[in-house]
Amino acid sequence: METTKDLPIQRYQKGRLEPTHDRVVVEEPLEIRLKGEPFQMLMRLPGWEKELALGFLLTEGIVHNLAEVITMHFCGTDTDPLLPPNVVDVQLTDPAMARTGRRHLEVAYSSCGLCAKEAVAEISRKVAPVAGDLTISPPALLGLMDRLTESQTIYHETGGTHAVALATPGGEVFLHAEDVGRHNAMDKVIGRAFLERRDLSKMVALLSGRLSFEMALKAIRAGIPILAAVSAPTTMALELARELNLTTAGFARNGRMNVYTHPGRIV
């Protein structure tokens, strides 16, 4: 599946424009359908379509476990030739379908009247705190962050993607994905981990960018206890992490990091 394209451009350097080519990352829509009905449109990097759909449904609180997923069909697999391109159709159990009718878009608080503290309090009433006693040493965590950087092949080629990885502290399991959207990359690796029936309470999440509220919420809903990012966190992400027992680390690069919340897991 094509993830990059070579496109003609004009490059300005040394005082002049010259024709050349550049590798550009591919972005395409993916429609998630539930029982044949349109539900969500995501702009994404092609690849891991089923994982993306499953991870999205999990981190949005619609699906709680794999038993609630009856079937998943992606048109690219030829399992359903009647589906149009770039569509994943998911058949869910009735309890999961019932949650779609009262889906709360917690990440959209910027358009409503809640302040950050009220938003975090509202989510904390609906989302369980992260459990588990997973620990990791600082050198091990920084080593995994270096591994994430090395794995970003599409980014190194185009500069146009984010990356997320899920890994065990010793690195025996290392699942990583790139995408044009950091949220998609997170959903892809979570979806892959669920399909492989991994225990997410025994894994750490690694981000190539900043540690935002949305990424913290996805980690919490998936039950991931440690979230580390190469860049900075936001205040609302840290408030949510502090409230719901998520360990967070930022600026994890070049042999250093800042541990912001629940530092007991970094030993």
Q: State the Cα–Cα distance between residues 209 and 54, nearest whole angstrom.
A: 23
Q: Which of 26-35, 95-104, 126-135 has the lowest mean pLDDT?
A: 95-104
Same domain, 38 and 93: yes
Angle made by CA atoms 172, 157, 147, in degrees to the nearest 5: 20
Q: What percent of the chain has pLDDT over 70?
A: 90
Tell me whether residue 9 is in a domain.
Answer: no
Higher pLDDT, 4 or 85: 4
Three-state secondary structure of 84-109: CCCEEEEEECHHHHHHHCCCCCHHHH
Look up the CATH number of the domain holding residue 42: 3.10.20.10
Tell me whether residue 43 is in a domain.
Answer: yes
Q: State the Cα–Cα distance between residues 92 and 114, nearest whole angstrom.
A: 32
Tell me whether residue 47 is in a domain.
Answer: yes
For residue 21, the one-letter residue type is: H
Angle made by CA atoms 186, 59, 110, in degrees to the nearest 5: 90
8 Å CB contact between 45 and 25: yes
Average pLDDT score over the chain? 88
Tell me whether residue 22 is in a domain.
Answer: no
The tens digit of pLDDT for each residue in 92-130 reads: 999 999 998 755 444 443 334 445 667 788 788 888 999
Find the mean pLDDT for residues 48-53.
95
The tens digit of pLDDT for each residue in 145-155 reads: 999 999 999 99
Tell me whether residue 143 is in a domain.
Answer: yes
Q: 144 burial class (0-12, 13-18, 19+ CB within 10 angstroms)? A: buried
By C-alpha distance, which of 239, 85, 236, 212 is closest to 227? 212
Same domain, 148 and 82: no
Instruction: Show which residues are catalytic.
Output: 112
Same domain, 115 and 146: no
Q: State the Cα–Cα distance between residues 91 and 37, nearest whole angstrom.
A: 10
Residue identified by tokens 């809903």 is 221
Find the mean pLDDT for residues 54-70.
93
Higher pLDDT, 4 or 111: 4
Same domain, 116 and 154: no
User: Residue 112: what pLDDT?
Assistant: 41
Q: State the Cα–Cα distance between residues 231 and 99, nearest whole angstrom.
A: 34
By C-alpha distance, which of 213, 232, 191 is closest to 123? 213
Higher pLDDT, 111 or 169: 169
Tell me whether residue 2 is in a domain.
Answer: no
Out of 123, 149, 170, a domain closes at: 123
Bridge partners for 44 per DSSP: 28
Q: Which of 27-31, 173-177, 184-188 has the lowest mean pLDDT?
A: 27-31
User: Residue 110: what pLDDT?
Assistant: 36
Task: Report the number of distinct structural domains present in the chain.
Answer: 2
Same domain, 33 and 103: yes
**pLDDT for residue 82 is more than 70:** no
User: Residue 127: what pLDDT?
Assistant: 87
Q: Which domain holds residue 224?
A: 138-265
Tell me whether residue 17 is in a domain.
Answer: no
Same domain, 45 and 115: yes
User: Model's pTM, two decimal places?
Assistant: 0.86
Look up the CATH number of the domain holding residue 212: 3.40.140.10
User: Residue 221: what pLDDT?
Assistant: 94
Tell me whether residue 158 is in a domain.
Answer: yes
The tens digit of pLDDT for each residue in 180-227 reads: 999 999 999 999 999 999 999 999 999 999 899 999 999 999 999 999
Same domain, 209 and 249: yes
Q: Which long-range contacts (CB under 8 A, 24 or more apart) does 23-29 make?
A: 23/157, 23/158, 24/158, 24/160, 25/154, 25/158, 25/160, 25/161, 25/180, 26/2, 27/180, 28/86, 29/86
**pLDDT for residue 265 is more than 80:** yes
